[in-house]
Amino acid sequence: MPVSYKKLWKLMIDKNINKTELTHLAGITTNAMAKLGKNEDVKVNVLEKLCTTLDCTLDDIVEFVPASERGPEKE
């Protein structure tokens, strides 16, 4: 099921932190941050590092997008 990280970007704005800072503070790779920016799947340990760094839960940074909201499938 596809995911959306809109909640992560909103939280980062609220905490006044940019992608470069979060990448460094959380100890994640720039590739992982790029995947987040494209709403692609990342490893659970990346999400765990983000939650630890931002002092939040997984539900605060990611949401699953139901098929009815996605639009047509791309092949």
Extents of the domains making up the chain: 3-67
Nearest 5 degrees, angle CA 16-CA 40-CA 24? 40
pLDDT of residue 75: 41
Average pLDDT of the residues in 4-29: 97
pLDDT one-digit tens code per residue, 22-71: 999 999 999 999 999 999 999 999 999 999 999 999 999 999 988 776 56
28 vs 3, 34, 40, 68, CA distance in Å? 19, 11, 15, 32
Judge whether residue 11 has pLDDT over 90. Answer: yes
Judge whether residue 74 has pLDDT over 70. Answer: no
3-67 CATH pick, 3.40.50.10300, 1.10.260.40, 3.40.1230.10, 3.20.20.70: 1.10.260.40
Single pTM value for the model: 0.85
